[in-house]
Structure formats: structure tokens, C-alpha cells
Chains A and B, each alone.
Chain A
């Protein structure tokens, strides 16, 4: 069930589902791509998020009715469209204890070992639901149940750049050192965000990511 919500006079938030799921995410991403390739008059920007798409427009040129109508028409076609080919990234991750201080704790709760969890994490293809919170920060899902753990009760003041993290059903990579409450389960040497690049974020919404384990030396 699609809901169109007002976000002021120059944006709408289109909710494409109540739950967060691959299916909803695929539809959001389809609409997002089509808006960007063929923007309607007055279109300024679109933001795909977990279960909705926020569309920003110039109120001097167009209005919410025109933009809603356009987006809803795209949403209707989204079901019939084939899923657009996604980019799949292979991201190296080191799950060594030094980089994964929270992995042991999650393993104990799940009744398994840190090594087994690392293998499980790397054995899955994740869908990028959205990139937000910080520049280049990808929210990816869904984690297999043994890896699902709540956020830390108190956030760390600074997680190192490249930290591979997990919270709830999502896994993520911190592009830069920032405070955070996600569980630290690994580290990648890959640079996720560089404002000097024309396409500054390596991993974008709708992409797919698979981690492959590397050792400390690498």
C-alpha cells in the first residue's frame, strides 16, 4: 500500500511499504533510477531510504500533485519492470579479533564461534537499502539471524574508518571515523567515500555487496 506524505511544500515522502524488505527496496530503487534518468520539471533530488523515497522539488516550478502523480505512475510500472541490473561489489574484510571486538560477544549469544560468524557474514550477498547518516555510509541487509544483535547500549566515541559493523538486520561499513553504536565485526581497507571523485561514494543504494575475508597481513 503506497502512501504519499507531505514533507513541507517542496518535498513528498512516498512510502512503498510498511516493512523493510528486498521487494520494497527494489521498487524504491527502480523509481529512484527512473526519476534521475528522466526528471520531471522542477525535480531537484530524490532520496531512497529503507521503505520510502523522498522527492524534493522547486515549489516555484511545480507542486506536490504533479510530482506525486509522476511518482505514482512510475510506482505502478515498477511491478512490471524487470529489476535493473545492480552492481555487485566484492569487499575485502578482515575479521581478526583486533578489528572485531564485538564478534565474540555475538557468537557466545548465538552459541557459536567468532570464526563461524565471520564465515557466515562473508557467505551472504547483501542488498544496499540506503546510503545515509554520513556520507557514503551503506545500510545493507539482511543479516542471517545468528549475526543479528542490538546496538551497543552506549555508542563508542569513534569507530575507525573502514569499520565493518552490524546492528539488527543490517550490516554497514563506516566510511570515516565517527561515533557509533553498531557492533564492530571487522575492518576493510577500502576507501568508501572521497568527495574529490565525480562519483564520491563507492557503494550506492540498490547495489549488492559480498565480503571476502582477508588476513591481517593483507
Chain B
């Protein structure tokens, strides 16, 4: 049996993302994938999907859609609320699954205090993979739904819901609120000692130049100690690149695979989802950690994910 989601209003930016395509970076293909892989994976597991299954990433605002041709089970993985219009109108809360009957409309409001939230579908989307992934790379016009952001009228085939009880989390997942942790390098030696003091001692503000490619930070500038130009090397998710202006940019999922500006540090794996969720005007500060400490934190965060999954229960009326 088939089902589909028909887009009534796509919000600011809605794209299909999974965990990306890391195997083609040597050919200049960005990894792409979910800005917040933590919520994506958690939402997928709750609906018994593969943890890396494709979901609808909604940036800044939720979207409005209609279930077509058949029932669809969904779950909002992120801070975004709304309502269902149809035979059984009701409110929709994050982290609680709902079954949309054919003809039901799901109307989601803005994403609160985070840049994105995910609409997870039980059984996933039935769209072809490109280079092994369902992620959308809008700049290259490939992947996801027709290689682009969703638009009004788009109809995305999905698995049809089966008859099963709804699930929920008793409380939403918590994200670290303290400093964003960084491993220094690879080109921290291209910066003055003062730059390090500034990086770890001052506060920065997320500018309005924040998107899936990267986040530019307003605030103090980071001073180079030598020419801010290096033979291009590989980029990594979370690298903090500093061009001649001294204004740091945190590189995210759609970043170019190579770059010629020095990188003063790299955000640790455990803090990548948190950084992906940053919104303009949010203040952040950084703390340095060693790679060993960072790995320990990554493993702890993974344990936390498992702990949260274990709290899932049948949804209460």
C-alpha cells in the first residue's frame, strides 16, 4: 500500500536529509546530511526506522502538509508544535508519534530556540538514493526530493502506516548549554597567542549569515600570525575556518570539501548537533579539550542517546 505527504506550505527551508554521503568527498562531493544528527537518529529509532533513515529537515519553521492516498505515521523530532486537522483534530507535541489518516492535515508552527527540527516518517520516504544517500545537496541540485528544497504541491511517496500503538518520550532530549568544546588545530599555529586567548575567553554571537554551509560568528576577530592562505586541505564537519577578515566560520554539512583558509580548531563530535541547531543572535563561547577528552565525551553522549531511547513508552492519552 502506498502513501504520500503532499506539501501545502514548505516553511523557510525543508529538505530531506539522512546521515549524508561521506564516501565521495575525494571527488568534491560534500557530505550534506542532518544538521542535528542526534535528533534525527533518536526520532528514527523511536519509530523503529534505521537510525540513519531519511527525514524531513525543517529549518526555522515547521511545514504544513497533507497525508495523501493512505495513512502515514509521523513524529516531530525537535522543538516544533502544531495541530492535526481532520476527522480527529488534535494538537501535536514533539517526540510523540501520530498517525495521519489519508486527508488529515499536519500544520506545524515555528521551531523554538533551535534552527531545525525533523519530521520522521515510520517506514521512511520512498525516493531514490543518489550516491548512496537520501540527503539533499541544494547547491549541486542533487539528492533528496528532486535535488532541491521542498515546495508547495510536492508529493513525496512514503511508507504507509501500519496498525501499531503510538510512542512517546516522557521528556525531550537535553543539549549541552555550556561552552562549545573544540580540539585545537589543524592550523592553530597560524594564529597569534592573543587569538587563542580570545577564542577561549570571549563570547561570540551567531550572525545572520548562518546556513547549512556554515555559521559566521560576530564578535571579536581572531588574528593571524602569518599569511592567511594555505595550500588547500580537507575540511571536516565543525572546523572553524578563519579568513583574512579574522571572522570565524564554523563549517557545517554542506561545506566545500576543501579549503585554503587556516582552521584554528574543530568542534568535537558530541557538540556537532548542538552547533547545527544554533540560531542567529545566540551567544556561544568555546572551551578547548584534548582529542582523548573529546572521544570520551562522544562515547558518553552516545550512552546518553541509548539511555533516552530506553525511556520511550506507549503514548499516554
A interface residues with partner B (beta carbon < 8 Å) = 5-11, 13, 15, 20, 32, 44-54, 56, 59-60, 63-64, 130-137, 139, 176, 193, 195-196, 200-201, 204-205
Contacts and interface: CB of A to CB of B under 8 A. Distances in A.
Contacts of B235: 54
Interface class of chain B by DSSP = mixed
Contact of B26 (A46, A59, A139, A195): A46
A50 B291 contact: no
Please classify how large the interface on chain B is, using the bins under 10, 10 to 19, 20 to 34, 35 or more.
35 or more
B256 interface: yes
A133 B256 contact: yes
Interface in B167-192: 183-187
A5 B264 CA distance: 12
B23 interface: yes
B257 interface: yes
B233 A9 contact: no
Nearest to A13: B186
Interface of B: 22-30, 130-131, 140, 142-143, 183-187, 231-239, 256-258, 263, 266-269, 291-292, 294-295, 298-299, 302
| Max chain B Cβ within 10 angstroms of own Cβ: one of A5, A47, A133, A201 | A47
A45 B131 contact: no
Given A7-B185, A200-B29, A56 B236 contact: yes
Given A9-B183, A63-B295, A136-B27, A49 B232 contact: yes
Contact of B236 (A10, A52, A53, A63): A10
B269 A134 contact: no
Contacts of A132: 28, 232, 234, 256-258
Contacts of B131: 195, 200
